[in-house]
Chain A
Amino acid sequence: MTPAAFDYVRAETREHALEILACHGDDAALLAGGQSLVPMLSLRLARPTIVIDIGGLSGLSGLERRPEGLFVGALTRHRDLARAEAAFAQIEADAPLLSEAARWVAHPSIRNRGTLGGAIALGDGAAEYPAAAIALGARVALAWRRGERRVQADAFFVGPMMTEAAAHEMVLGLEIPPLGPLDAFGFCEIAERRGDYALAGAAIVARRDAAPRVALFGAADAAKLAGGASKALAGDAPADWDEALCAAAGEAARADLGDSALDPARRHLAGVAVARAAADLAKRARAQARGTR
């Protein structure tokens, strides 16, 4: 279990990385925290001819409030999002769902190294961030040699470890419309062991001025927006969501999965996850209404 040989470049700047990426395309792999890439190299499941190390690039880590929303840099580590302290305190105010999702990523030593951008770029259907990004209505910021573009998260994750990013594009980060004081989120992950990839999970965001967004992970090969479940929750104020409504949303989510559910158990569990995430959201909404967020 040793990687096949590859060349290695320590990128000096973002432009440097994108230049090399443009030259090699599919044959290149970007290395950030390495927590998924290096095991895949060792298993020889990933066979790049060149690894471009972007781990040392400046300006790609941390949070920034921009007019378009909260920008979370690709090199931000799970640990910092999960802890939401010091320089990352803003995440708790603007996108606490991302913080919650980070706490569910793997184990402490992986959270110490792994990055948001790495997880987004990998697009694992059982990972937490893609669903969180979809629920938040976030946009994935991509850069290539000649420019940048933004892709809505719900259009970004297209299949098993497949995303909309082209081979010459690099994930810069997530652009998240911040949650307002009266917005709320819910999250639920069902896994056999703490830190395992999810059997099923759900992330939900309810904004005061928009319909709720329910996103699923784990149950299918890519994270996806659950339209029926989202619709089921629309109309009522989150603080009023009762058990029956949450269960109905779960049932709708099972229908949303259609043939994409990996197996019957995951389809079932996706419904449970949605119902629980909705209940979680309702609880938070009630707490917010009481001013005890």
Chain B
Amino acid sequence: MRFSDATKIAVTLHVNGRPVAAEVEPRVTLAAFLRDHLDLTGLHVGCGHGVCGACAVLMDGLTARACTLLAVAAQGARIETIEGLSDRGALRALQRTFAEHGALQCGFCTPGMLLAAHELLAETPAPSPAQIREALSGVICRCTGYGPIVDAVAAAASESPPAEPRPDGLPSADAPPSDAPPSQTPPDEGAPS
């Protein structure tokens, strides 16, 4: 795809470990840049307005929604996509347990789910089901009903060695809100049957 001739801006960044230098129109989102410019189509644009979570990438080690970022604003960033993470084996345990548990159907949300789960496990090696659901709360899956994904993440957690350390060296979880009102507490072991 060719971008229009409006004033382009130089941007340099690292994508999947490789330096990328490009000139892009300011209005191009990082999602469009990665997909159309670098042919990294593993991330998907399910909504384009920052809700569905299918366009997840790792930006400087943390998940980000590529549709809510401008490519030009990713100057100097280290971006990893589902392709790069897969190729270097970072998602192996999750990919296996996702398949075993039927944690995907159409596959469109899968990059978002895998990256969200990956981020969770890097910080919280043994998450509770409620923590898993909280960590996945920003990714829409319309096929599975989420349960199989939660099971797959729990299974990956229970069998994997501690994940790679976080880039900023911070060890622990992004906890769900404390003292949430009852109606807002994620479901836990209180299920009746």
Contact = CB atoms under 8 A, between A and B. Distances in A.
Do A and B pair up? The answer is yes
Interface of A: 1-8, 10, 31, 34-35, 38-39, 41-43, 51, 53, 55-56, 79, 82-83, 85-86, 100, 103-104, 106-113, 188-191, 193-195, 276, 280, 283
Contacts of A10: 9, 72-73, 75
Contact of B177 (A38, A56, A103): A103
B26 interface: yes
Closest 7 pairs between A and B when the two form their complex, measured CB to CB: A107-B138, A8-B26, A3-B27, A109-B63, A39-B49, A112-B62, A1-B48
Q: Is the interface of B mostly helix, strand, loop or mixed?
A: loop
Given A6-B27, A107-B53, A109-B138, 7 more contacts: A35-B65, A39-B48, A42-B67, A83-B174, A110-B68, A193-B137, A280-B179
A276 B180 CA distance: 10
A56 B75 contact: yes
Given A51-B26, A112-B63, A280-B179, A194 B186 contact: yes
A85 B172 contact: yes
Contact of A34 (B6, B63, B70, B138): B70
B80 interface: no
Contact of B65 (A5, A103, A109): A109
The listed residue with most A CB atoms (<10 A of its CB), out of B32, B59, B65, is B65
Contact of A5 (B25, B62, B135, B137): B25
Contacts of A191: 184
Q: Is the interface of A mostly helix, strand, loop or mixed?
A: mixed
A106 B53 CA distance: 12
Contacts of B135: 108
A109 B70 contact: no
